Structures are given as C-alpha cells and as structure tokens.
Structure 1
C-alpha cells in the first residue's frame, strides 16, 4: 500500500530485522515517526542526539546488529556526529537516518539550515548519501545492511529531504537474500604458508584485536597447538582463556612489551589495526616476519605496521583452517610459562603504582559480578587501569570508546546495551567529569526501568590530564571543576544511589543494583577503604 515515505522507511527497517530505534522527533523528521508503532518497532527517546547515537552504538556492540538512530535536520545531525565518529573508529554498525532541507543553495535563513549537512556527516561516517526519491532511499538502506554483513562494520548515514518524507511512496522492495562474506579461495592459497611458518617457529607470538572476536572460541586451541605466546588488544580481551599459560594479557601498551615482541621469531596479527591506541608507540617492537589477517584492505596499505604476508579475509575462516592444520602438531616452543607469569606480575605492580587504589577495586568487582555481565566504560583513569588488569572470561563484553576517545560514552551506551540485553547484567563505569557530558540520559534509564549499575569514579578532577601536564612540566590548569552531589542528582532523576565506603559495601551495592527496578548510581572515590 502507498504510505508517506517516512512511514515506509520504518516498515522497511522492521522487515530488515530492526527492533529498536533511538532518537528524538522534531518538526522536520516527524514523518519518520508516523510508521514506527505501526511497524512494531520500539522507539527509545533520548534526551540529546549525542545520547541517541551512543545508545545505538551500545546496542550494536551488544547484539552485533546495526544500531539505528533517527535525527532531525541541522543541529540533530551535528549532535550525533561524535557518536558516529566513535562508531567509525571502533567498527560499530550504526545507521543514522536524518531529514534534510529540500533546497539550501537558492534559499537561505531556513530552520535548522546548514551549508552542507551531508558533507558534515561524511566526515565521520563510512559514507553519507542523500536519497532524493523513495527508490533511492530503499536502495541506500539495503546497501547499508548488505555492507554491515559483508564488510568492516562502520556507521552509514542517509538523509532524506522533508518533501520526500511527506510524499506518498510505494512499498519497499522485498528483502534481499542474506549477503555473506566470500570464503575459500584466498584461505586455500595462504593457509599452507602460515602452517609452514608456525611449524618452523620456536617463539611464535599472536596478537588478537577486536576483529578476532567473532572467532573467539578457536584461538585458545590455536595458541596451544602452535605453542604461541599471545597478547590481546583492549578490544580483544576475553578471546584467550585466562588460564592459557603463555597469555600476556591486554598489556600490549606496556613499554616493556616491545622487548617481548623483539624475542618473537614469527608474529601473527588478526583483526587489529596496531593503532596508536593499541600500542602507544610507533612500532610493535618485533624483528621477525609478520603475518596480518584483516577484513579491511585499508589496513594493508599506508600503515606503519605492514605485514610480510598480508591477507584480506575473514580472520576466523583463515585461522580456523590453520588451527585444523595444526592438529597433532607438537610445538617446540621456547616460551616459558614462568617467564610470562613473572612479566605479567611485574606489569600489574607497575599499574598499581601508577594509579593507586584502582586494582583492588577491579579485583573486588570482578569477584562478584554475575556471569555474562557486559561492561561499558568511559574515558576515565579507572577504565585505563582496568583495561589492562581486568581479564575477561568471554570476548565482546567490555566496550570502551577506544579510538575516537570521547567523554560521556559509557552511560548512554550502557543504556543501549541494557535495552538489547533485557534480563542480562549490564554495567557502566564512568568518571566524574565524563558523567557531566551525558548525565541527562539517566532519565532514559529511569523511564525504561533498566536495572543498570552506573559506577562513578570521582577523583574530583581531570586527573589524567593533570598528570600529563605535570609530566610535560606544565603547571596544571583548568583540570578541576565543581561537582554536584552526584547521589542527590541521581535521586532527582528518580534513580537510586549509593556511596559505599569499603570494598565489601561496594560489592553489595553493585549486586543490589542488578536487582533494582531502575538504574543505581554508585559513587566511589579513590579513598574507598581497601
């Protein structure tokens, strides 16, 4: 049946598997809201478009399905650019659909007018296109969903002129057959070469990034069969079982890890950019052949970390074939478990000294969190330490704004994750300053009745920046801001609050929060009794 295009888009999204849309309605995009309820889609009303974008990001990371957001022309698009940039840098599938003005060249002074709205979105999206007809809108939506399933996941942006949203449009086309990533030929050609290299290596070392998460279950067996030492990047935590004797953890950013890599005689990197935020140095430190496996061909060109063998493919397909080929192989590894354990212990002591008081809190939380807890963290010193010392027992369960590094991510992203994981434990970890960025989204968690612990680490300042200024011999400036009474603020929103003074009380507060109908803000400071 004919409907306004705005309504048809919601029906098309429902047919493509979309169950939740995050957004804020306005006079320019209200036609997109005409069909949401009729299509059977749940809409989550954010308090700010930045919050809507982070919720869509958190939902996408929790489910592996695209997070969808509806925003208005102009300021709505500008407000969601930061979440789009975060989704781009961290490979989160997000679809943002916005309204746009019909004409901006010959007509000026319109409500929400921008010089080039599409170009602004293009700066942080995989692509940004304008649909000037119903057929174009349908094509772009199907293009986005096809690419989500066959390429590196990144945000897509579609804008539709207001007159098109209002105009009658035919039904969207039938759902396309599922698109899958091609397999087989490249793997058949490269697997024997990888096997030969692994079987002759005495000190093979594997680095696993976030791109290796889909094949997480195979890498422990692969590492054991190859006699390989392993690092995970922050995004790859949980891929390797914590009891793997040659596992160096997620401490790749420790400066001494370069010396470990220098001892390797073969380096295999799967699903990692080896970016600045993975290494915090220019090169990994290896002096041996490097094999890189990544779904993104851009990782193979123009990078500082070029591999001697570069394989553009689904990492889990390639490495599963390698693992199968190593069955029965008896590795002659020269890595020693006691050396790995001693190195990890030394690094743990370094982290505890660098950021006092955080490691015991991490240990206390890890001891009581329910199985399958999913954590969303923010740019805060607590998370910086936790990412190195908190071993995860499963992959894809700790999400952080790694690349773009935006403050305010954790609270709304955890809301998106909790919406996706109703009945499963979800937790946010955020700093006092970052909480200011998106604190208004606490109202969404209250409105939805989400049992969400929000752990607020309050050191009363931008401590990481203060420390950096001191190291640079700059007198600390503009690093202290006046904070509210966070517990009273949470209660004003209708949330619960707690301010535990001991680790035992903290554990009890977190466990109670998972059983509470609504969010609980748990305020702790570096002075919490350990």
Structure 2
C-alpha cells in the first residue's frame, strides 16, 4: 500500500468526513469491522461506542432528530446488524435518515452456507424491508455511488435508513481515496396548478385547521406564517412537536388522540395536512381513519403518501417549507377571530382528560422544564400524557418512539 492508498474501510470514513460532513459515528469496533475504525483518528471523526449495537442505532436515530444530520452506524457482520434492526425500523417508521455500514461474510462465502462466524444467508435482505435500500458491495468502486444515492434519499426525498453490507475482505482491500460521485437530486417542487387549486378552496374556507407532521420538522417558520394568515389552529403529530411553539396562541399541540378533537377536525370545512401519515399512533382510535367532512389539502414529499388513509381534494407533492411558502403567497390574510379560541379549547380538553395520577408529576416537570430542554421519553402511560401536556418551544427537541 502506497502513502496515497487507503484500506477500503478507511476510504469510506474519509469520503464521509471530507464530502458529507460526517463528524460522529456510532458502533462497536471488532475484528469484523476494524477497517472502518482504522482511519477515524486521521479523519477527525468521533466514534461513540455503546454497550450493545441496539444502543448505537438509537443513538444514531436521536442524533438525526436533534441535529438534522443522518445518524451513522458502523457495525460488525451478522449480530451487529440484527441487533440494530429495531432502531432501524424505528427510523424507517418515523422517516429519519440513518446510514448503516456493516461488515458481512467474506466474499468467497457469501450466500453459500459454509457456516463462517456471523453468517447470514443474505444480510442485505434481512434489512431491506426497513430501509430505503439495502445492498451488498463486492466491488469497492460501487461505494461512492451508493453513498451518494443514500445522501440523496436523506436530503431530497422522504428520509429513510440505508444499509450497506461490505464483506470483510473487501474492507481490507487497498484503494485510492474515493472521489465523490455527484448525482443531481432535488426535492420535488409543487406544481403551480396544484397550488392554484389549493388556494381556491383555502381562500374560501371559514374554519380551516392545519395538521402538521414530521415532514414539517424543518418548516416551523412557514407553518407559523400559514397559520397566522389563515387564523387556523395547528394540531401537531408526535414527530412535529415543537414545530409550532407550545406557547403560540394558535398551537393546539399534540391532542389528536382525543375523540372530541377528531370530531371537530372532521367537521371543519378545510383541513391542510402537511407531512404526516395520519397514523394510528397519532390518532389512537382503533385504526379508524379520519372521515373529513370538508375539503382536504394534503402536502407531502412522498407521492405514495398523498392518497393513503384519505383522498384529498387537492394533493400536492413537494417539500413542506417550499410548498407552504408558495401557498402563502396567494392567501388572502384574514383578521384573527376564532383560531386561538379553538386551539385553546382543544388544549383545555386534553388537560381535562388527563388522569389525576399523572397530572401531579406533569405539573412539577412542566414547572422546572427549561425553555431549551431536549425531552426524551419512552412508551409509558406518563409519557403518553406528556405528549400533550409538556411544552416544546423548538422543533427537534422532542425524542419519543412513534413506531
């Protein structure tokens, strides 16, 4: 190996650091993935090691929520990958970017059931159902294109995890430093005709409601501006908590689970749905899809999502922030009237429905919770109540499992 050459594992980390700004990875080093760790000191990338690969996956997921950057896992073959499947599935369900790079069985034993250590019949296939894509790389020259393809998923489409499996012998090969494979990709842009249709029904509405989901996590400014133009209360899914600050008068918070709130939504003459599946987890109503009585404008970056669980009056495929900005330019601003009162009624209803067993705890936590807090909670009864009770003043400040 010459001074200008690297092991393939080193070259991967070098490319991620140099071209994609990766500065932290999560995983546990071992014989099977040591080549991925070999160049960390030279690249300046920080490695964080938990006691179990599942912890690495949840760390990477949490990292992506708070920073907005893809979480990177570097894992051993076999159990390293299977141990992290739960957080991969969580990130898939909640549409978050995670790059999982794992070693796999040596090339000469791939899929042959020779019984080498950590052997899986097809490691990439194991992860495929919970990834945007999952591939096995036997030629190092494939890696720059696959990494670029992964980044395009993370930044220009509905973000989802990506898994790349690399045989141990391939990781140990020598190569020149990788050159980034630039593949043009942009977020889908809303069609003007769809925006025009949406404006016609929006400007004629009397009782508009906005439901904002995780797809609007980076569209706080735009969601707030749209709500204020329309004097519309905003309901947030769990993954959107903080997109509109809890102390904003039009923020109804995370109270979609309540039947009274769902009935009010269904009776509104317009509901604007932004970046959400309208999933069972957010509605918690025995799987019943909302039966909208009025018109629906649905905005989503994923074209497959537009007609799931409801058929909108107007479906717009596009990035949340960009699309709402285009929509807002044509909206006839209205005076504040009933929007804040409607939001307050829903917030009060949620609090009134909260069990006395939990309110004493929630009141104390709320009192001492700083404005810049990052809250992490698990699936517990107290945690469920915290979703609608505790405030969040900023997006990317609420970590909770919704998958």
- Fold agreement, TM-score > 0.5: yes
Find the aligned partners of 1:145 and 1:246 in 2 and give their Cα distance: 35
1:351 deviation in Å? 1.3
Q: What secondary structure does 1:256 align onto?
A: helix
Structure 1 equivalent of residue 294 of structure 2? 288
Does residue 115 of structure 1 match 2:117?
A: no
Structure 1 equivalent of residue 198 of structure 2? 194
Find the aligned partners of 2:122 and 2:347 in 1 and give their Cα distance: 51
Q: What secondary structure does 2:278 align onto?
A: coil
Which has the larger displacement, 103-112 or 89-98? 103-112
Q: Tell me the alpha carbon deviations over residues 381-417 of structure 1, each in whole angstroms, 9 at most, x when there is no partner.
A: 22111001123112221011112xxxxxxxxxxxxxx
Q: 2:165 aligns with which of 140, 149, 159?
A: 159
Structure 2 equivalent of residue 137 of structure 1? 143
Structure 2 equivalent of residue 56 of structure 1? 60
Structure 2 equivalent of residue 304 of structure 1? 309
Q: Is the 8 A contact 2:188 2:317 kept in 1?
A: no
Q: What secondary structure does 2:12 align onto?
A: helix
Find the aligned partners of 2:339 and 2:185 in 1 and give their Cα distance: 44
Find the aligned partners of 1:17 and 1:178 in 2 and give their Cα distance: 18
Q: Is the 8 A contact 2:13 2:40 kept in 1?
A: yes
Find the aligned partners of 2:90 and 2:299 in 1 and give their Cα distance: 23
Does residue 341 of structure 1 match 2:338?
A: no
Q: What secondary structure does 2:402 align onto?
A: coil
Structure 1 equivalent of residue 325 of structure 2? 320
Write the mapping of 1:323-472 to structure 2, written as runs, cut at 5 A. Answer: 323-326=328-331, 329-330=333-334, 335=338, 337-338=340-341, 340-353=343-356, 356=357, 358-403=358-403
Q: 1:43 aligns with which of 38, 47, 51?
A: 47
Does residue 149 of structure 1 match 2:155?
A: yes
Q: Are the structure 2 counterparts of residues 370 and 173 from structure 1 closer, same or farther at C-alpha, using a change threshold of 3 Å?
A: same
Find the aligned partners of 2:40 and 2:83 in 1 and give their Cα distance: 22
1:341 deviation in Å? 2.8
1:161 deviation in Å? 1.0
Find the aligned partners of 2:380 and 2:214 in 1 and give their Cα distance: 21
What is the TM-score normalised by the length of structure 2? 0.92
Which has the larger displacement, 32-41 or 88-97? 32-41
Write the mapping of 1:209-288 to structure 2, written as runs, cut at 5 A. Answer: 209-281=213-285, 282-288=288-294
Q: Are the structure 2 counterparts of residues 245 and 55 from structure 1 closer, same or farther at C-alpha, using a change threshold of 3 Å?
A: closer
Q: Is the 8 A contact 2:152 2:185 kept in 1?
A: yes
Q: Is the 8 A contact 2:9 2:38 kept in 1?
A: yes
Structure 2 equivalent of residue 124 of structure 1? 130
Find the aligned partners of 1:336 and 1:373 in 2 and give their Cα distance: 28
Find the aligned partners of 1:62 and 1:337 in 2 and give their Cα distance: 29
1:318 deviation in Å? 1.3
Write the mapping of 1:471-486 to structure 2, written as runs, cut at 5 A. Answer: none
Q: Are the structure 2 counterparts of residues 250 and 165 from structure 1 closer, same or farther at C-alpha, using a change threshold of 3 Å?
A: same
1:360 deviation in Å? 3.0
Q: Is the 8 A contact 1:36 1:42 kept in 2?
A: yes
Find the aligned partners of 2:231 and 2:57 in 1 and give their Cα distance: 43
Does residue 7 of structure 1 match 2:10?
A: yes
Q: Are the structure 2 counterparts of residues 149 and 339 from structure 1 closer, same or farther at C-alpha, using a change threshold of 3 Å?
A: closer
Find the aligned partners of 2:164 and 2:130 in 1 and give their Cα distance: 13
Q: Is the 8 A contact 1:293 1:311 kept in 2?
A: yes
Taking only aligned residues, the RMSD between alpha carbons, in angstroms, comes to 2.0
Find the aligned partners of 2:335 and 2:254 in 1 and give their Cα distance: 24
Q: Is the 8 A contact 1:187 1:318 kept in 2?
A: no
1:245 deviation in Å? 3.9
What is the TM-score normalised by the length of structure 1? 0.71
Asked which structure has the greater RCO (Cα within 8 Å, sep 6+), the reply is: 2
Q: Are the structure 2 counterparts of residues 337 and 145 from structure 1 closer, same or farther at C-alpha, using a change threshold of 3 Å?
A: closer
Q: What secondary structure does 1:181 align onto?
A: coil
Structure 2 equivalent of residue 517 of structure 1? none
Q: Tell me the alpha carbon deviations over residues 486-516 of structure 1, each in whole angstroms, 9 at most, x when there is no partner.
A: xxxxxxxxxxxxxxxxxxxxxxxxxxxxxxx
Q: Are the structure 2 counterparts of residues 177 and 373 from structure 1 closer, same or farther at C-alpha, using a change threshold of 3 Å?
A: farther
Find the aligned partners of 2:23 and 2:346 in 1 and give their Cα distance: 46
